[in-house]
Amino acid sequence: MLYLGLKHRSLTVFTAANPGIASGGFVGESKSGILAKLTRVPDFILLAPGGGLEAVRAFMLQARLELPGGAEA
């Protein structure tokens, strides 16, 4: 990486590969922030730390989702 940075005279040139993502997705990107910008993405939720199973169950019910094989969440 250092060699390429010197060769292209920029240590952050690789971050231009994904201009719609902060820092090109190199550090600290928000996956939910990236998905929210896309137009054709399945529904998703962002769980808070400790958000847990009840939030997942509520989301699945609202989105009419089921686990494969009829297993319960």
* Domain spans, the chain: 1-29, 42-73
Reported confidence tier of residue 36, pLDDT bands at 50, 70, 90: confident
Flag whether pLDDT at 73 surpasses 60: no
Distance of alpha carbon 6 from alpha carbon 2, whole angstroms: 6
Those residues with Cβ within 8 angstroms of residue 16's Cβ, 6 or more apart along the chain or in another chain: 24
| Structure-block tokens of residue 20 | 């719609």
Reported confidence tier of residue 19, pLDDT bands at 50, 70, 90: low
Flag whether pLDDT at 66 surpasses 80: yes
- Per the model's pLDDT, the better-predicted residue between 67 and 23 turns out to be 67
